[in-house]
Structure 1
Amino acid sequence: MIGGRRAAVALSSLALVGSSWAGAPAGQADEGRHRGPGGVVCTGPSTSVYAPPLTLESRATRVHTEARYTCTVAPGRTVPATGSLDGVSPSASCNGLTSPRITEIVRYADGERSLIVYDSGTTLRTVGVLDVHLSGRVTEGRGKGQSAQRDVLLALPRELPTECLSSGLQGNSGQAQLEIRP
């Protein structure tokens, strides 16, 4: 179920990127490279670490995440990229992160980068899946000025991990999708 949903979201996003791409007007080649009308869609595995570990009690928590993406930066053009996220959720627990303030640096294999500041987030728990959604804006580099949305789908056991009841959940892994769009 998770794989099918990810594939559908990724294909829909790729179609959107492909249909909205247009070249930069003459004289604006550099501006088009960073703020062009098209978007960027990145997908790949994501691993997060929490300090202090997550428990059932909500508390301020530092979040560090590493992601390995494959990014579509233009129709038919993909590049590998890495994402490094750091920030704080003022109220985090095993049930989710709230009001995170997180910054992501995406480094693309073609030498470009994007600095993204996420200023809002939600957590949606459904049967067997936790969707952590972050929203923000690209402040520097590729996509500067465009909105950014990042979703991570985490497969969950039927019940909360036992770590939530004792020492705390130190981290988790999931599949991420980052979209940078006008």
Structure 2
Amino acid sequence: MLGRRGIAVTLGSLMLVGSALAWAPAGQAMTSEGGSVGCAGRSEGRYDPPLTLLPRPTHVHADVTYACTVTPGRTVSATASFDSDVPEASCVAVSGGRGTETVRYADGGRSLIVYDSATTVRVAGVLVVVQRGRVTEGRGQGHPAQRTVTGLPGELPTECLTSGLRGVSNAVELEIQP
């Protein structure tokens, strides 16, 4: 069980891992209206079929709410929809990094992002998934994108042993690079 100090050490470690995986400092990612965007928010994900201890093909869907900086000093809210078909998913591991995300900004803009790779790191129980891809339509078209999903430590849910884990809530960061 982690105490306050353990949680602080875990989150500090997570920040170091995240900074090592990042493409550019956040201040550089939000420089112009020409495509650079930095977002932070929360996702509510669902698994179909629910995750169990046995790996099987699974569809992952997440609804995301973001606060996005689209130019220095200008932040707009956004909602997003993420979908992926994972060839092998269980409560213990998820393989594959492909997926698509459609981001709809409150100012009327939109970005369609296709992710084609992912790196998964576990630090002191904290799961970090970094997905990389490219914006194929809308705001930031043609620019590289990086999506970082962070799952806080927890015990294996009892649902994994019975009916299956149907969903999860995570922190999400999105960067559309200049």
TM-score, normalising length: structure 1: 0.80
Aligned to 1:26: none
Aligned to 2:172: 176
CA distance in 1, matches of 2:25, 2:65: 18
- Displacement over 4 Å in runs of 4+: 2-6
Aligned to 1:143: 140
**1:98–1:123 Cα contact (<8 Å) kept:** no
Structure 1: unaligned runs, 5 residues or longer: 23-32
1:138 to partner: Cα distance? 0.4
The answer to whether the aligner puts 1:79 opposite 2:91 as a matched pair is: no
CA deviations on 1:50-86 (whole Å, 9 max, x unpaired) are: 0011122221100110010000111111100001111
The answer to whether the aligner puts 1:94 opposite 2:91 as a matched pair is: yes
Shift of the 96–16 alpha-carbon distance from structure 1 to 2, 3 Å rule, reads farther
CA distance in 1, matches of 2:140, 2:176: 7
Larger mean CA deviation between 143-152 and 126-135 belongs to 126-135
Give the residue type in structure 1 aligned to 2:105: Y
The answer to whether the aligner puts 1:44 opposite 2:41 as a matched pair is: yes
SS at match of 1:95: coil
Identity across aligned pairs (percent)? Answer: 54
CA distance in 2, matches of 1:42, 1:3: 19
RMSD, aligned CA: 2.3
Give the residue type in structure 2 aligned to 1:111: G
Number of matched pairs = 164
SS at match of 2:94: strand
Structure 2: unaligned runs, 5 residues or longer: 1-7
Aligned to 1:29: none
Aligned to 2:27: 15
1:128 to partner: Cα distance? 3.0
**2:29–2:175 Cα contact (<8 Å) kept:** no
TM-score, normalising length: structure 2: 0.82
CA distance in 1, matches of 2:82, 2:58: 14
CA distance in 2, matches of 1:125, 1:73: 30
Matches within 5 A, 1:100-111: 100-111=97-108
1:3 to partner: Cα distance? 6.5
Give the residue type in structure 2 aligned to 1:14: A
Give the residue type in structure 1 aligned to 2:106: A
